[in-house]
Homo-oligomer: A and B are copies of this chain.
Amino acid sequence: MTKTVPKSDTRIQKKNQALIMSAGLVVFSQFGFRGSTLDLVAQEAGLSKPNLLYYFRSKDAIYTALLAKTLTNWLEPLRKIDAKGDPVEELLGYAKRKLDMSQHYPRESRLFANEIIQGAPRIGDVLRGELRELVDETAVVINGWATAGRINKVDPYHLIFSIWAQTQHYADFDVQVRSVLGNIDPFDGAQYHLEAMLRGLLTPLVDQKGC
């Protein structure tokens, strides 16, 4: 008989699996996969280590499940960009959604940051597959807007990178940002700044001053 992991989904299983995922998020997002231990996750979850392994086959299984679960939500904002909407408002909306995620789900951001910094050993395929396709599609949309003269000509890939970079920075480097800002809340100013930056980049000059 091979190692058994619960098949049926009772409410207590759902609860404990969620508990473990939540604890795993806390630990893995701070220390990365290699820097995390099952003992830490168990302690955070308030369960015993063997009990973790009753619900998940291995440390790897917890981490992988966590990544997979979070990944979908993480890419969703990009899918919401509507080719038929107003270009500047669509891109600003995207940036705002990403910034909101950094504010409300910083751990998820750090989880990915850790994974990618370490070379993305488990999600390399997703990066080169699903993510790349999604970005390619969005790039086509952005290029269409530029060709139509509705925004300035920009490199759509680097535009997307710059939105990722600036929004995720406030989650991943939270400690640094707050060290510099002191008591000031980062996210108010961040949103305003990001908007100004994107408008300055995207808005055709003729619209800015009407000449």
Contact = CB atoms under 8 A, between A and B. Distances in A.
Interface of A: 30-36, 110, 113-114, 116-120, 124, 127-128, 131-132, 135, 152, 154-155, 157-159, 161-162, 164-166, 168-170, 172-173, 175-177, 179-182, 189-190, 192-194, 196-197, 200-201, 205, 208-209, 211
14 contacts: A30-B118, A32-B34, A34-B35, A110-B117, A113-B113, A113-B172, A116-B176, A119-B175, A131-B179, A157-B180, A164-B169, A165-B169, A169-B169, A197-B200
A154 B32 CA distance: 35
Nearest to A37: B34
A192 B201 CA distance: 12
Nearest to A136: B180
Nearest to A191: B158
B155 A181 contact: no
A175 B124 contact: yes
Given A116-B172, A162-B169, A165-B166, 4 more contacts: A31-B35, A158-B189, A158-B192, A162-B194
A197 B190 contact: no
Question: What are the 7 A-B residue pairs with the smallest beta carbon separation, nearest first?
Answer: A34-B35, A200-B200, A165-B169, A158-B193, A127-B179, A35-B35, A165-B165
A201 B205 contact: no
A200 B153 CA distance: 12
A30 B128 contact: no
B197 A201 contact: yes
A173 to B, nearest CB: 5
Contacts of A34: 31-32, 34-36
Interface core residue of A135, A152, A173 (most chain B CB under 10 Å):
A173
Nearest to A177: B161
A165 B158 CA distance: 13
